[in-house]
Amino acid sequence: MSGGKSYYVYIVTNPSRTLYTGITNDLYRRIAEHKHREIPGFTAKYHISRLAYYEIFLDVRKAIDREKQIKAWTRAKRVALVESMNPRWDDLSREWEVGHVYSPSLKT
């Protein structure tokens, strides 16, 4: 995204498919924080660290609105959203990891 800052609305999960929806301006860093349980709270407690879904925005207000929209949905609707992009629930950040170093490709 040349010149401008990107914002990401993302859904992370665990093997039990517990869902967490968040927003960040650095998806690479945020997913690494989830994977290393650097953020105390819900995601650390339930080992939620697998990136299941994300969207990219250039306007922070649109990203915030989308995050709020998704969070207001039923679980079934959020599951359908994940499966529309990622039907096998793969960890979309898996290929970023080389040993313990993450690729900066989604860093803004």
Count CB neighbours of 34 within 10 A.
23
Q: What pLDDT score was predicted for residue 94?
A: 87
Domain boundaries, the chain: 7-95
Rounded Cα distance between 51 and 9, Å, is 11
Model pTM score: 0.85
Q: What pLDDT score was predicted for residue 4?
A: 74
Q: What pLDDT score was predicted for residue 96?
A: 78
- Model confidence at 97, pLDDT cuts 50, 70, 90, reads low
Rounded Cα distance between 48 and 34, Å, is 7
CATH architecture for segment(s) 7-95: 3-Layer(aba) Sandwich (3.40)
> Which pLDDT tens digit goes with each residue over 35-93?
999 888 999 999 999 999 999 999 999 999 999 999 999 999 999 999 999 999 999 99
